[in-house]
Amino acid sequence: MHSGPNVVNFLCKLIHQLKLKIESKDMPKYTSKNTDHYISTSAGWVSKNTVEEITFENAFPYELERVPLFDGVGNKADFNGTKYWGLRCSDTGDFTGKPVPDSYQHLSNERFWDIVQNAVGGTDAKVENVGTFKNRARRYITVALGTDMDQFYVGQREFKNRFCLLDSIDMSSSLYGVNTSICIVCQNSFNAAMQDKSGLFRFKVRHSKNMIEGIENMEKGIESFIGVAKQFKHAMEVAASVPVNREEASEAFTGWIMKDSKDKVMSTRTRNTVERLGNLFVTGAGNKGETLLDAFSAVTDYYSHESSGGQEKDGFRMKQNESSNFGSGNRAKQDFFKHLFTTPKTLDERPAFNPTGFKNLREIGRKVEQETQNQIAMAN
């Protein structure tokens, strides 16, 4: 597949030029109207609206139709010999995502839904949430598998573990199977990518010609989810046993945010973020400001509920939910976890506290905080 600015410009023209025609000779409509939806069997942070049961019909009331694209003179859209297609929603007739090349394998909504049914149909599993982002270009399904790992406690904190499928049709990501852990008291979420234990199960499947084979392997190996849930539970138990005070947490937060920055001092925005994380470490729901678990919960709280900014604006919660599951919020939570714990190589191993990683973050943070204070003093 080609990449680079020429392809980007070409794709943008395909989307925006009104001269593009589809096979029916109608004009394509890349609507700016948001048609995303979210349904759940229980009220939550994103929405209070609920349904008794989620079925394919109320989860995806439309299908994706792959249609050829034509230029203004009736030729099929072509770039360096590669033909492009549009994905059109059957209920509105509007296009979603972006033009995709011949080699791109997209999943219909029905096949996306069937992944869950093929893997856990006939068991006690229950679909709890379904939603879309980016005007239907991204989608997810969250499932309670009906096992003893669906719910567990670490101290007084209750956690829910769910299997979640994440996918896109705009070439922005592969199909993912992840373990989503939610701390009930604060509604923080954390996605742990499922390990490839035996070679049979793949937690990530690319949108290529071999996609269906990869999905079938995912369906066979979904029991690997249980192992990932146990790994996460163990990590939280370890975190609850590691004492951390406010100063140490602040240094770690600063070092983590600034570790890849060329700047030696914090911006006002970064100082505000560190201060907010420090407050959540002490006063966030379920936190006491005493352990590594409080520090981890502060980060997951912030990047689950606040990091997108503009909380007073319409659509903030959907935007934040997207960031928390698909975007920068999700990546931030994963990165912080990576610096606190070792990475198991198999599902039988358990993550351990990484004191060196935590110490390194604190050392970076201590230096940055000192440089920042020196600069402030000089400015005054």
Q: How far is 217 from 200, CA to CA, in rounded Å?
A: 6
* Residues 304-337 pLDDT 10s: 888 877 666 766 777 777 776 667 888 898 899 9
* Residues 12-55 pLDDT 10s: 555 444 334 444 334 344 444 678 888 889 876 566 678 999 99
Q: Which helix (DSSP H) or strand (DSSP E) does residue 141 occupy?
A: strand 138-144
Q: For residue 62, how many other CB atoms are within 10 A of its CB? A: 16
pLDDT the model gives residue 148: 84
| Of the ranges 111-120, 327-336, 355-364, the best mean pLDDT one | 355-364
**Domain range list for the chain:** 1-30+64-102, 109-223, 242-379
* Residues 250-282 pLDDT 10s: 999 999 999 999 888 999 999 999 999 999 999
Rounded to the nearest integer, the mean pLDDT of the chain is: 82
Q: Beta strand pairing status for 138-144 and 95-101?
A: unpaired
What size, in residues, is the chain?
380
pLDDT at residue 245 tops 80: yes
What are the Cα distances from residue 215, in Å, to 46, 107, 122? 29, 10, 19
Dihedral sign for Cα atoms in the order 72, 78, 79, 85: positive
- Quote the percentage of the chain above a pLDDT of 90: 38
Comparing 140-144, 216-220, 243-247, 357-361, the range with the smallest average pLDDT is 216-220
| Of the ranges 98-107, 127-136, 249-258, the best mean pLDDT one | 249-258
pLDDT the model gives residue 184: 65
